Chain A
């Protein structure tokens, strides 16, 4: 009786994906924590219901785009009686600056929490400048 209903079907190509994303009336903007240390920036996003195969993380020189669809298992013939969450498509984008290495972003998805690690380019890491005294 239980079948996983995929409200937004995963499209075969990127162009179609974009147009489908635009069709979504409501897009959920996942809550984010962003922090930085000497080696890079960490972005943590709450995306409950999203599994690895429904998650898209795209990064280029200009920015980082995270998209995902929540696949919620719903029994047939279910009638909604209360809903805080009224959409299943998540999308959030972030601007990237040149000192960040978009090529080496690492992503980890666990229990609906996506953690992205964006390293700083090695040559651009802040250096401590020693002050010499006589």
Chain B
């Protein structure tokens, strides 16, 4: 066994295994983002949930004009972008914790989502995007005869 085999077969496999275990430990939290995942603390914070019929994406983005939010879908990549304008007093400022400026978040939806059947609504500062999964991919109960 030469050195590269040792790495590819042995050590790298161990790393992969460790990674899998980590993935299991940390839950499937990373799937909707994949390579486009961002550091914790990226604005707006986001939650993703699935039901047999839908994928629900929640973006906690208060203080936006719904008309200014840009939601686009390319293949199964959902991108939400916009700008949050924050007006702060021009006199004495003690805290400026709220996010201000341009933002963008990208989410890889599961392959089975129909890009033509995505709807969004904005309420109390939460943007909820619902992507439908076609009937064919919903789990079916299979009877055993």
Q: Give the interface of A toward B (CB within 8 A).
A: 31-38, 42, 44, 46-51, 70-85, 110-113
Please give, as numbers and ranges, the residues of chain B lying within 8 Å of A42 by CB-CB distance.
Answer: 89
Closest to B97 in A: A31
CB distance from B113 to the nearest CB of A (A): 13
Q: A49-B124, A82-B47 are in contact. List 15 more A-B contacts (CB 8 A).
A: A35-B89, A36-B91, A36-B92, A36-B93, A44-B88, A48-B61, A48-B62, A76-B51, A78-B51, A79-B51, A81-B48, A81-B49, A84-B42, A112-B125, A113-B63
Q: Cβ of B52: which chain A residues have Cβ within 8 Å of it? A: 77
**B50 interfacial contact with A, CB 8 Å:** yes
A73 touches B128 (CB 8 A): yes
- Shortest Cβ distance from B39 into chain A, in angstroms? 11
Question: In the assembled complex, which residues on chain B have CB atoms less than 8 Å from the CB atom of A47?
Answer: 62, 125
* Most chain A CB within a 10 A radius of its CB, from B33, B49, B128: B49
Which of A34, A35, A71, A83 is within 8 Å of B47, CB to CB? A83
A49 to B125, CA, bound (A): 6
Stretch among B11-19, B24-32, B75-83 lining the A interface: B24-32
Specify which chain A residues have a CB less than 8 angstroms from the CB of B98 in the assembled complex.
31-33, 44, 46
What residues make up the interface of B, taking CB atoms closer than 8 Å to A? 28-33, 40, 42, 44-54, 56, 58, 60-64, 86, 88-89, 91-99, 122-126, 128
Question: Which secondary structure characterizes the binding site on chain A?
Answer: strand
Alpha-carbon separation in the docked complex, A79 to B94 (Å): 40
Residues of chain A within 8 A of B92, CB atoms compared: 35-37
Expressed in whole angstroms, the Cα–Cα distance for A47 and B40 within the complex equals 18
Contact of A35 among B45, B88, B99 (CB under 8 A): B88
The residue that B125 contacts in the complex, of A46, A83, A84, with Cβ under 8 A, is A46
Given contacts A78-B56, A83-B47, contact A72 B95 (CB under 8 A): no
Q: Tell which of A32, A76, A111 touches B62, judged by Cβ atoms closer than 8 Å.
A: A111
Report yes or no: A77 in contact with B125, Cβ–Cβ below 8 A.
no
